[in-house]
Structure 1
Amino acid sequence: MLHIAIIGSGPAGYYSAEAAQKKWGDDVRIDIFDRLPVPYGLIRTGVAPDHQSIKGVSRRFEKTSLGNNARFVGNVTVGEDITITELAGLYDAIVLATGAPHDRPLDLPGSDLGNIFGSAELVGWYNGHPQFTALAPDLTGRHAVIIGMGNVALDVARILSKTEAEFAGSDIVGHALDRLRESRIETITVLGRRGPHQIAMTPKELGELASLERAEPHVDPADFPPEEADADLDPGVRKSVGLLRSFATRAEAERGTKPVRIEFDMFASPVALHGDGRVREVEVAETRLVDGRPEPTGKLYRLPADLVVSCIGYRTAPIPEVPYDERQGRFANDEGRIRPGLYCVGWARRGPTGTIGTNRPDGFDVVDRIAADIGSGSDKEGRAGFDRMAEERGLDIVTFRDWKRIEEAEEAAAREGSPREKFVDIEAMIRAGR
């Protein structure tokens, strides 16, 4: 019998469990650990609340947990409640699927001012992550600045600009909806160091800005290269650039017809934040591309900013006893192998790149590496050994059956039109599960 511990119950973790089930069938036992009492990681607390179709992949992961050879072990923090060395003594293989839950620091003068947030914080706040429940961003100012040109920046801009009616069908948590209802934001500036051809925004997410009820996207036509240059782009990027061009054209015809403006400020690199205890302005350096890299032109200007959200990337949280690559912000690994018996997948392996589906081949690849290193398993105790240790330490484990009770309680508490009202307190989750 092969015993595998997977640390993290998001997409990378569940795809790895699914791959192990397919490879070894009844000859494997898989424990999927999570520090929260609820599963699905990024699906629950990272995917935008108005993207319910993407969250539907959790139904696939539920089938994995309901199998006889895999189980969810919630409310257990690896590195605190149990160490990697202890897990290695119990399981033949450990797979780290912890994602990249920490914001990459915004290393600029003034970044310690008030009302400046990383995207992991703000997204966690409106998605009901218990760690960020008390965040309370002040949305009563007129100007917001979002730093970054990826899909997360689009998510934040969209959430900040939607009407309450546009959240129908979403699972945005009540405390965030209450705060957004009081928002007075009129301009949302999205800053990017490069130009339209270098954005990391996908067409679907970019296209959603065109149908917002009270917000209109604006792009400066002067930021674009000649249109014939678009022919050299990859098809997805070309489509995104086409949408940006349509925003630039439409902006001239419809300027000022909606109360909220989403301004794309390209070739713009933030260099400092200014304020009086809380942020009031972002100082920006104009850039130009030299051999594909942004370089300052020497021109500086300031943007009003009552709220700043940094969407510049994420880092994996270190775990004691696991080699860590500080520069890349992920576990040090060779194509998923940290050492025989210890592996990583998803963002913990490659950094915060790719979509949810990108994690699936990672899971199948790591299972092949486990098979090459470990073979068919050993005489380690696996699940039975962990259960004994958990009982000795008084760990309050949350099972998948407990999670289903939590889910039922969230669905029962949902406001009209919403699929659920998430618990945002760990103790409340555990009580509902019991």
Structure 2
Amino acid sequence: MSKLGSKSNPLKVAIVGAGPSGFYAADALINSGIKVEVNLLEKLPAPYGLVRTGVAPDHQLIKKSAEKFALMTEPKEFNYIGNVSVGADITIDELKKSHHAVVITMGAETDRKLGIPGEDLKGSHTATEFVAWYNGHPEYRNREFDLSNDTAVIIGQGNVAADVARILSKTVDELKHTDISQHALDVLAESKVKNIYIVGRRGPAQGAMTSKELKEFGELWDCDTFVDPNEVILNKSSEEELADRKNGRAAKKIYELFVGYSLEKKPHKARSFPWTKPYVKPRKCHIQFLRSPVELKGNGKLEKVVFEKNALSGDPFKQKARGTGEKYEQDAGILFRSIGYRGVPLDGVPFHDDWGIIPNENGRIMQDDKFVQQLYTAGWIKRGPSGIIGTNKACANETIEYLLKDIEILDDKKTKPGIVAIHKALKKRKVNYIDFIQWEVIDQAEIDAGKPKGKPREKFTYIDEMLALVN
């Protein structure tokens, strides 16, 4: 048999998960200089992962990154297989038998739990399910969110928490020309939420959201943002953190924005008629620091959140938030926890439950300190939820670099059927899978449906609707 990676014996790789990491891994393989066949499998008919179902609808420039991923599908070495659940419709073992290597790029699909009493009360939600719901993810289409109470609480102060708060704070007019799903817009139009609390366990010097996200809270049409002036007073270690060069300008900018939101608000002039009487914006975002939820209370439904105030102690960059024993109750009708994503296990693949990732070294999947041959990983499921979309490129490139170093190990001198075996298995099981050309038909139909409404697209939120277009 000819050398693996040659024209007559291409390296065949299956990639599980068509988010940014999956596309970057595919692109790295196709541009590696050897002959390959890359088969990208995705659970949904629609590709792009969190670019489609995670990025906030009012961040359309970020969503446009899907266009560059679409260009990566053009080489003949690339195959897209959508609407296929790996583990159910086809197994990891089957992919290993039909390919030289399998790369897992499933992302981090769920939230970490608070681990407090009452967390499962009705009205207590994960941020991920709310984000997926307003972004039209078919698996979350029918989730219900009761916005009839005037107070919402968000636990966590990262970018996802900021997205949730911003969507709750915006008017229908601010959202109606985005790609937000119509069912979500209808619910948000009836929202009675007036106060949104964004609560973090640490202080303003340790803020997790980016300055860009934070700045947007000062640009909301009908919502003002408040920070208690006493909560932007820093301890000595926090002052040293901000002064340290390794923290960069970003941390200082974030802190300065928090300070800005702590200043006294002046009445606003109406947007459309600036000569009219100044008014107070009807909604309020309250960014609060140094407190942790310890219990959720309610009679079958969330009514109150019990918080304990924290104090920071320790050396710069090593400070810990510890409870002071001082507690208070905050009325709330709905709560979203956003304290970090974690991956979910996949049958046939090792998983570190404490870390919520696949154990690996440089993308090589490990078990008991040994490399599990043929298995690799990239993206959040490899390293945890960190970085921006572009961060996944370097992550995927590293994985493919090490995969290619293993090419002699991967060559078992057996013929690998690759895409032929995938098609055969899925047809035998009557799985209604689609290719990228069929996805482009669905994609164009969404764009066409959005035009009369002035939206970038109107997403299909049921899988059957998508498949009906191409079958």
Deviates more, 1:230-239 or 1:98-107: 230-239
Aligned match of 1:399: 435
Q: Is 1:190 aligned to 2:198, yes or no? A: yes
Deviates more, 1:175-184 or 1:368-377: 368-377
The whole-number CA distance in structure 1 between the counterparts of 2:448 and 2:68 is 22
Aligned match of 1:62: 70
Instruction: Report the residue type matching 2:15 in the other structure.
Output: I
- Percent of aligned positions with the same letter in both sequences? 39
Following superposition, the deviation at residue 251 of structure 1 comes to: 3.9
Aligned match of 1:115: 123
The whole-number CA distance in structure 2 between the counterparts of 1:68 and 1:237 is 45
Q: 2:171 aligns with which of 152, 163, 174?
A: 163
The whole-number CA distance in structure 2 between the counterparts of 1:256 and 1:269 is 34
The whole-number CA distance in structure 2 between the counterparts of 1:277 and 1:350 is 38
Q: Is 1:425 aligned to 2:462, yes or no? A: yes
The whole-number CA distance in structure 1 between the counterparts of 2:159 and 2:302 is 24
Runs of 5+ consecutive residues of structure 2 not aligned to the other structure:
1-9, 269-277, 366-371
Instruction: Report the residue type matching 1:19 in the other structure.
Output: A
Q: Is 1:153 aligned to 2:161, yes or no? A: yes
Q: Is 1:240 aligned to 2:251, yes or no? A: no
Residue by residue over 1:60-103, the C-alpha shift from the partner in whole angstroms, topping out at 9 and shown as x without a partner, is: 11011122111210011111111111110011111100001112
**Do the aligned partners of residues 81 and 228 (structure 1) sit closer, same or farther apart at CA in structure 2, a change above 3 Å counting?**
closer
The whole-number CA distance in structure 2 between the counterparts of 1:13 and 1:250 is 47
Following superposition, the deviation at residue 169 of structure 1 comes to: 3.2
Aligned match of 1:388: 424
RMSD: 1.7
Following superposition, the deviation at residue 37 of structure 1 comes to: 0.8
Aligned match of 1:356: 389
Greater Cα radius of gyration, structure 1 or 2: 2
Instruction: Report the residue type matching 1:17 in the other structure.
Output: A
Residue by residue over 1:19-78, the C-alpha shift from the partner in whole angstroms, topping out at 9 and shown as x without a partner, is: 1111135x1110110010111011110000110100111111101112211121001111
Which SS does the other structure have where 1:324 is aligned?
coil
Count of matched residue positions in the alignment of Structure 1 and Structure 2: 433
Instruction: Report the residue type matching 2:259 in the other structure.
Output: R
Following superposition, the deviation at residue 432 of structure 1 comes to: 1.7
The whole-number CA distance in structure 1 between the counterparts of 2:92 and 2:423 is 16
Whether contact under 8 Å (1:5, 1:30) holds in the other structure is yes
Instruction: Report the residue type matching 1:73 in the other structure.
Output: I
Whether contact under 8 Å (1:341, 1:374) holds in the other structure is no
Following superposition, the deviation at residue 392 of structure 1 comes to: 2.1
- What is the TM-score when the length of structure 1 is the normalising length? 0.96
The whole-number CA distance in structure 2 between the counterparts of 1:263 and 1:67 is 49
Which SS does the other structure have where 1:323 is aligned?
coil
The whole-number CA distance in structure 1 between the counterparts of 2:296 and 2:239 is 38
Aligned match of 1:75: 83
The whole-number CA distance in structure 2 between the counterparts of 1:108 and 1:305 is 16
Q: 1:231 aligns with which of 229, 232, 243?
A: 243
Whether contact under 8 Å (1:340, 1:374) holds in the other structure is no
Q: Residues 30-69 of structure 1 correspond to what in structure 2 (within 5 A)?
A: 30-69=38-77
Q: Is 1:293 aligned to 2:307, yes or no? A: no
Whether contact under 8 Å (1:217, 1:251) holds in the other structure is no
Aligned match of 2:273: none
Whether contact under 8 Å (2:176, 2:185) holds in the other structure is no
Which SS does the other structure have where 2:103 is aligned?
strand
Aligned match of 1:346: 379
- Which structure is higher in helix share? 1
Q: Is 1:272 aligned to 2:295, yes or no? A: yes
Following superposition, the deviation at residue 253 of structure 1 comes to: 7.7
Which SS does the other structure have where 2:304 is aligned?
strand
Q: Is 1:14 aligned to 2:50, yes or no? A: no
Aligned match of 1:90: 98
Aligned match of 1:282: 305
Runs of 5+ consecutive residues of structure 1 not aligned to the other structure:
none
Instruction: Report the residue type matching 1:406 in the other structure.
Output: I
Whether contact under 8 Å (1:219, 1:251) holds in the other structure is no
The whole-number CA distance in structure 2 between the counterparts of 1:56 and 1:402 is 20
- What is the TM-score when the length of structure 2 is the normalising length? 0.89
Which SS does the other structure have where 1:367 is aligned?
helix
Q: Residues 258-269 of structure 1 correspond to what in structure 2 (within 5 A)?
A: 258-269=281-292
Deviates more, 1:259-268 or 1:225-234: 225-234
Instruction: Report the residue type matching 2:399 in the other structure.
Output: V
Deviates more, 1:387-396 or 1:9-18: 387-396
Which SS does the other structure have where 2:72 is aligned?
helix
Instruction: Report the residue type matching 1:409 in the other structure.
Output: A
Following superposition, the deviation at residue 189 of structure 1 comes to: 0.5
Q: 1:373 aligns with which of 406, 416, 422?
A: 406
Following superposition, the deviation at residue 257 of structure 1 comes to: 2.0
Following superposition, the deviation at residue 389 of structure 1 comes to: 2.1
Following superposition, the deviation at residue 321 of structure 1 comes to: 1.2
Instruction: Report the residue type matching 1:275 in the other structure.
Output: G
Residue by residue over 1:404-434, the C-alpha shift from the partner in whole angstroms, topping out at 9 and shown as x without a partner, is: 1111211222252211111111111111233
The whole-number CA distance in structure 2 between the counterparts of 1:120 and 1:433 is 29
Residue by residue over 1:325-345, the C-alpha shift from the partner in whole angstroms, topping out at 9 and shown as x without a partner, is: 000011121221112310110
Whether contact under 8 Å (1:203, 1:236) holds in the other structure is yes
Whether contact under 8 Å (2:267, 2:280) holds in the other structure is no
Instruction: Report the residue type matching 2:362 in the other structure.
Output: E
Residue by residue over 1:338-374, the C-alpha shift from the partner in whole angstroms, topping out at 9 and shown as x without a partner, is: 1231011010101111111110001111111111112
